[in-house]
Chains A and B, each alone.
Chain A
């Protein structure tokens, strides 16, 4: 069973860059798609973006100008960078695995079947 674990600073100052990593164990990162999702305290879920096994990225439009997701296959992990943060970016950040095989055997992005435990990042001076 694949396991995901987020790591990174729990406190970031306004205008600085939030950087998180997600370590994947129990399976290769060279398959599936790998996403970041966040949840402000007491609120719902927001998909941030994904990176595919071959490096293709897609981001939610509202964050696209500030987000970069990258992958390090040698270390079996992927990372999130969010620039110019404000208190509105305070949230629990989850990494997740997504993807399914369609009827023709192609891997497609879609739903999230494995999640990390999440890490709270607070943006405050």
Chain B
């Protein structure tokens, strides 16, 4: 089973700042099979990024994904109030044994 480790656990920033969230895989992910989700309180997760760097329909362009192998990053430029949420990465390279990271909480400083 591929284990995903997200860091930091909590990130405290102010609106307008940029955020960098990391996701490390215990094994290399073939074809960059990694997705990112945003979950606001009381809501279902929402797909932001798939294939490590492709934005899902409706994802603002201030969100960008990068990385390959075992190291992946989600960058959010110019944080908006609605961006403060929990973010999860998910690998599907070891399909069908999907796994999620434990999440990074992005909170207002």
* In the assembled complex, B56 has its CB within 8 A of some CB on chain A: yes
Which residues of B have CB within 8 Å of A46?
100
* In the assembled complex, A108 has its CB within 8 A of some CB on chain B: yes
Given contacts A115-B44, A118-B44, is CB(A110)–CB(B99) below 8 Å?
no
* In the assembled complex, A105 has its CB within 8 A of some CB on chain B: no
Q: Which residue of B lies closest to A113 (CB)?
A: B47
Which residues of B have CB within 8 Å of A111?
35, 47, 50, 90, 92
The count of residues in chain B whose C-beta lies closer than 8 Å to any C-beta of chain A is 23
Main secondary structure, interface of A, reads: strand
Which residues of B have CB within 8 Å of A94?
44-45
- Count contacts between A and B, CB distance < 8 Å: 53
Given contacts A110-B50, A115-B44, is CB(A58)–CB(B90) below 8 Å?
no
Which residues of B have CB within 8 Å of A112?
35, 37, 45, 47, 90
**What does the 1/0 interface line of A62-82 toward B look like (CB < 8 Å)?**
000000000000000000000
* In the assembled complex, A61 has its CB within 8 A of some CB on chain B: yes
Closest CB-CB distance, A107 to chain B, in whole Å? 12
* In the assembled complex, A100 has its CB within 8 A of some CB on chain B: yes
Whether the pair B45, A113 counts as a contact (CB closer than 8 A) is no
Closest CB-CB distance, B24 to chain A, in whole Å? 15
Contact of B99 among A47, A115, A117 (CB under 8 A): A47
How far is A118 from B45 in the complex, measured between Cα atoms in Å?
10
* In the assembled complex, A40 has its CB within 8 A of some CB on chain B: no
**What does the 1/0 interface line of A31-55 toward B look like (CB < 8 Å)?**
0000000000000111100100000
Whether the pair B95, A44 counts as a contact (CB closer than 8 A) is no
How far is A123 from B43 in the complex, measured between Cα atoms in Å?
21
Interface residues of A (CB under 8 A from B): 44-47, 50, 58, 60-61, 94, 100, 108-113, 115-118
Q: Give 9 nearest A-B pairs by CB, closest first.
A: A58-B96, A111-B35, A115-B44, A110-B92, A47-B98, A45-B100, A111-B50, A113-B47, A44-B102
Question: 5 A-B pairs, CB-CB below 8 angstroms?
Answer: A46-B100, A110-B92, A110-B95, A111-B35, A111-B90
